[in-house]
Structure 1
Amino acid sequence: MEIDLPNLPSDPGLRTRIIDYSPNIQDQIRRAYILKGLCQPRKHKFPQKKFGQASALRRFIPDWFNDYSNWLEYSISKDALFCLHCYLFKHNIGEQSGGDSFVSEGFSNWKKKDRLQIHVGEPNNAHNQAWNQYEALKNQNQHIQTIMFNQSDQTRIDYRKRLTTSIDCIRYLLEQGLAFHGHDEYEHSSNQGNFPQLLKFFANHNEDVKSEQMAVVFRYVNMDGDVIECFRGVEHVTSTTALSLKMAIDELFCRHGLSITRLRGQGYDGASNMQGKFNGLKTLILKENECAFYVHCFAHQLQLALVKVAKSHVDITTFFSYVANVVNVVGASCKRRDILHEKQATMVIEALNNGEIESGRGLNQNTTLKDNLHRPPLWFVIILGGTPPVPEITRTSPIF
């Protein structure tokens, strides 16, 4: 259906509701109305009407446009007031912020000018959320892609410090040939494995690393229809309870002019504080927005599946036990590592001479750990895919 954008009705009383347009063109409609500007016919002869038997005749006062110049509109057809921001962006029509009065029905009780201020209300009410989204669409510097990367220098330094700590731990374990995981990684385990224990050691000696964090990743679709996944950063939280995480998410969304009502998915691991049926973070968000469907983090699902497979098949369990033993025995001694390298080099030379394997650029070359570390690190996918840089939040990192 073709929409004549330049000729959309300016009178707010004659407009089609935003939700009645196709979702694919709703932002085009919004931009068209933003370009048109507010409908404020100051020179119109406003009609008078009576409120009650003993009341005097009253009419709209044009000076009210000056008091609420950034959102107030007047409909000549309905002799009523409307709010442009709420028309464009208010999602749930209800009693909050004047209910439906300033969106579709219009407000025309000229005796109660105080209702205009009530409509403006508190900073986090529906009207002000709509205003934030209006400003974000109007100002390209507030576009979501800009928001994602518009971080302070100190924030960038803090992120780099925590990420560097994780990388240092990974490098150390690789160089020493040590396993990352432990046999018991539950929250109350006395030894969750080398990687989290090493991170805890760093955290105990560095307050910047020790503070509890929540890693957040946003996935959204840009104007070209491309799916963009962006690591938003690490947010400070007072604790990792579901309520604390929900409050941190609400503050993050409000700070950047985003709305929970536009959230269409949420994903994290299966810990009770995250996906609990009654009080988990997933449930708290779903109570506010039924469209924010929960999906268990694929990385955590894959890890659980691999653990289950390894425990169920003797051959796989035995194989990894042998690998762990070899790594631990050989990695504990420089002499043993040298012997293993010599044996491996001898086997490769014999195989090359016998024509069993081929040599070439990148094929069967003698490489060092330094060479391998300069290659694209696969563990980066793990870190940016939801594994947080701080051990306290291993199972409390929401991804949006």
Structure 2
Amino acid sequence: MQLSGCEVKNAFFCFTCLLTNSTDSAWTETGIADLKNFHAKVKKHNSSEKHLNGFIEFSMLGKVDIMCQLDSAYRRNIKTYNENVSKNRYILGKLIDCIKFCGKFELALRGHDETEDSKNPGIFRGLVSLMAELDCVLKQHIERSENRVFLGLSKTIQNELLEPIYEVCLSLVRSELSKANFLAIEVDETTDCANLSQLVLIIRYELLGQINERFISFVRPKSHSADDVTAAVLCELEKMNVHETPEKLIAQCYDGAPVMSGHKSGVQTRVREVYRNAHFIHCYAHQLNLIVERCVTGNKQVRIFFSNLEGISTFFSRSSTRTAILDEVVKKRIPTCPQSIRWNFKSRSVITVYKYQKEIVECLERIIDDDASDYKTINKATGLKGFLQDEDFLFWLNFF
């Protein structure tokens, strides 16, 4: 047995096992620093199967490999290794199937508490647990930790699986873009669950007479200046190889923000310096929303109506007790509008209040009659009940 020392770890290592990449971590990674029992450990390691295999592999360097024909133990090791590889590929396929299921139905993989004793660890871990009950191989992999290479339930493993899946999807989009005749990009700003601003990039293209729309990525530029937003957009276009055929990009669509649509220094102007055919098209849905909003808010009664409508949803969402009463009587939540630009939430609120008007009034009456309600809650509930029975409010409710 040949020994090598490390002055950093202050320990001895097996030189042969290091060269042959043996799996005996005590002699290849950790090292032996216990000199009291050193002789016994050396003797035990010399007779171990891992060391002997490594010694045989080291002695055969530069010679003809006849181990597959002569050594049954060596052939057995190869067979065991291939079986473990096949098993790990099978487990990996099951984990990818769970991720594909979540993606198909747009479900979040993770939960708020992913500990082992959590009652609600998230959809991904729940799917894996369900599949383990139906698949004995997957169940054995999860339960017997000493025989596994990876468990596959941690957030690190999830991210490592999501990244190649995302790259495979992008490679497919790149191949379609290379065959497309015309391209267009759509960029808009939204917020994530942490209320941080980010850009959404979508590419539309024509292929074989069909219009395809593909989500590309969420981009978080360094700032909201035209320089940084333009740099972020151009970087994503280069990743999709659009810069190789710049004449294909014929349109770019943004909202009405000056930093995006400015004619002198906006993003659309700077993008056209690189892609000359990329004509700017204003977001028509945003335009329509602004026009309608300006028209209806010019009426004082309409402003009062939408203010009171928003007050109804806010009143119930600010208290778990009020929400419980709403769930019991109406059996449906009143949608709240997270941002004023998301106008579809207003229509959902109008439809819900219109459909369950009597039930909402019943909820307010129960809150007013409840002895546990404070004066402030009773005051708000009484006011909202009056609005729901007011002729002007009911007229606009029916109108919208």
TM-score scaled by structure 1?
0.33
The one of the two structures with greater contact order (alpha-carbon pairs below 8 A, sep at least 6) is 1
* TM-score normalized with structure 2 length: 0.33
Which has the greater radius of gyration?
2
Q: Which structure shows the bigger proportion of residues in helix conformation?
A: 2
